[in-house]
Amino acid sequence: GDSVTQTEGLVTLTKGLPVMLNCTYQTTYSPFLFWYVQHLNEAPKLLLKSSTDNKRTEHQGFYATLHKSSSSFHLQKSSVQLSDSALYFCALSSSSGSWQLIFGSGTQLTVMP
Amino acid sequence: EAAVTQSPRSKVAVTGGKVTLSCHQTNNHDYMYWYRQDTGHGLRLIHYSYVADSTEKGDIPDGYKASRPSQENFSLILELASLSQTAVYFCASSGGGAYAEQFFGPGTRLTVL
C-alpha cells in the first residue's frame, strides 16, 4: 500500500543555517506529494505540493523537488529562521477514491538563536 | 479564506462515556475527514465522507463512528471512550481530487481518564 517515510524525528539547527528534511514514499500510482507545517498548538497548513517530476516548487523560502526515480520529495531551505520552528509533515495523496492524505511521522524542526 | 471549525477545543472524558466531536466547514467542500494525531505517528485517518448522509471507514475506524448530516457538518462519535483514544483530533475538508489541498480545523484535544 501507499506509505511515506520521514527518517528524522527531530532536527535542531542554529538560525541562518540550511536545512533538508527527508521524505520518501511508496505508491504504485502517479504520486502527488505535499508538505504540511504545524506550528505549536495550531492546525497543519499546506506549505507546498508537487506532482511534476524533477520540477522545483517553492513557497515561503522553502523548496522541494519531486524525484520519481528515487521516490523522494525532500524539503529544503537555505537559511532557517526562528519562526521556522514547527512540526513538518510529508504527505502522499492516496491512490484510493478517498483522496486521503497518507502522512509521514513528522519531523520536529527547532531553530536556535 | 477556507474555514474549518471544531468543537469543543478540548475535552476530558471518563472511560466508558460517550464523546461527540463536531466539525463545521464553510468551504462548500464535498470531502471531509477525521484524523487522529499521536506523537510519532503523524496523522491517521479515522473516517471520511464525500457526500451528506454517507460516511466511509478510514485506516483506524475501530471504536469510532462518524455522522455527516449535511455538507457542512461532520461529527466523530466515541460510543465507549477508552484510555487509548486520548489524542488530538483534526477535522479537514477538501474539494476532492489527488492534488486538492486539505484545510484543517484547529483540533480537539481529548483526554480520557
CA B109, distance to chain mean position in Å, is 12
Chain A residues closer than 8 Å to B41 by CB:
105
Can you list the pairs that B56-64 forms with residues at least 24 positions away whose Cβ atoms lie under 8 Å? B56/A98, B58/A98, B58/A100, B58/B33, B58/B34, B59/A100, B60/B36, B64/B34
Mind telling me how many Å the CA of A78 is from chain B's nearest CA? 25
- Is A110:A10 a contact under the CB 8 Å cutoff? yes
In angstroms, the Cα distances linking B110 to A23, A40, A96 are 29, 17, 29
Say what the pLDDT of residue B110 is: 97
CA end-to-end span of chain B, whole Å?
Answer: 37
Say what the pLDDT of residue B34 is: 97
Mind telling me how many Å the CA of B71 is from chain A's nearest CA? 16
Chain B residues closer than 8 Å to A28 by CB:
none
d(CA A65, CA A74): 7
Which of B42, B98, B105 is nearest residue A99 as measured by Cβ atoms?
B98
B43 has a pLDDT exceeding 80: yes
Mind telling me how many Å the CA of B4 is from chain A's nearest CA? 10
- Model confidence over A6-37: pLDDT tens digits? 999 999 999 999 999 999 999 988 999 999 99
Chain A residues closer than 8 Å to B61 by CB:
none
- Model confidence over B81-97: pLDDT tens digits? 999 999 999 999 999 88
- Model confidence over A55-111: pLDDT tens digits? 999 999 999 999 999 999 999 999 999 999 999 999 999 877 778 899 999 999 999
- pLDDT grade, residue B1 (50/70/90)? low
